Structure 1
């Protein structure tokens, strides 16, 4: 039997994710420590990718959302969401993990903070699709990851409207909010979903190859 098939973390209703290729310790305490380590590693990856910027007109692409999708898919729904919750909390605590090496509790007053909240649910969605093996094939992975990329906007646009129109007393229409908070990011979101759809299935291919070499 292959090492992947023997991984002890599989459940009857879901497929395993990449993180579950790691053999889990038999004791509950060590299993918890492993999960905690994976969550911290996931938050660190997002923090690092948040500092990556690719110049692109009209809005530059950052690696933050790519990190969210990859971490969610690799860790699974709940661990992915936990990693992004950790990322948000340490940023609010003052560690410079947000884009531009920033981090402060005052970030909640920024129009863009709703997207950070949305990252938690985006990672969960990416992990949900991965647990159902959508991350094994590039085509299905792209569809699932594109869906996950939409989630931050469901939180980000309303939050932006609240900060701009209620807190700051401005008068942005719905169309104007979409023009500044959605439309410029569509191309970048599709590119990052495509990159994630290459990275995660590619990692699975390497796992299968390594597993076959053991037989």
Structure 2
């Protein structure tokens, strides 16, 4: 039985020029490594916008928004490497988790693991056109958010002893409105950027 390969579309990072003055392959590799590092730094920067909420160890942060933007912009493999860099470096002591946090473990580390899963899937979906229209982008971002919660909630339960209902109440419900706004923002942003890219390409 022959597998059907879906066509891969370019993501926004593919429009960043390769590093000049070196062989083509090396130039592309250098560009991709720079993008991976920039993605990790971008997430670490936005994660510092962190607001503690009463009654829950999970803060309100822009880190999740940064993760979804990075995943869609970089594509699957680069997003995976970027989030792996963010996770490992933060686990080893770089204090760029939410609220200048760092280290493996803790009640909210499962959300960081979810970041990696979400960015990779969002990037893969973007490579299939999942960020080209408002509806597709919204669906892509919703799926990414679900993955973050799918990893974060069980970890929160294990780390704190919460039951499932309590973990949902403290680790999901307070963030649904904010996540909805982030999804809407991304759904407006990416199609607009792609429309601009198409206009530039036609010149």
* 1:102 and 2:79 correspond: no
5+ residue gaps, structure 1, are 1-10, 166-171
In the alignment, which of 13, 16, 20 is matched to residue 14 of structure 2? 20
* Aligned counterpart for 1:188 among listed residues 149, 155, 178: 178
Give the 4+ runs in structure 1 shifted more than 3 A.
23-26, 53-61
Equivalent-residue separation in structure 2 for 1:110 and 1:12 (angstroms): 39
- Give the whole-Å Cα distance in 2 for the aligned partners of 1:94 and 1:110: 14
**Deviations, residues 164-193 of structure 1 (Å, cap 9, x unaligned):** 22xxxxxx2211111111111222111111
Partners of 1:12 and 1:175 in 2: CA distance: 39
TM-score by length of 2: 0.86
| Count of paired positions | 194
1:2-50 Cα shifts (integer Å, max 9, x gaps): xxxxxxxxx9721110011124466322221111101001111111111
Alignment match of 1:156 (pick from 149, 152, 155): 152
CA distance in 1, matches of 2:171, 2:148: 11
1:47 counterpart (40, 44, 47): 44
Of 142-151 and 180-189, deviating more is: 180-189
Match for residue 112 of structure 1? Answer: 108
Which 5+ residue runs of structure 2 have no aligned equivalent?
A: none
Counterpart Cα distance in 2 of 1:161 and 1:56: 18
Q: Does the Cα contact within 8 Å between 2:80 and 2:120 map onto a contact in 1?
A: yes
- Superposed CA RMSD in Å reads 2.4
What TM-score do the two structures reach when normalised by structure 1?
Answer: 0.82
Cα shift at 1:53: 4.6
Please name the residue that 1:75 is paired with: 74
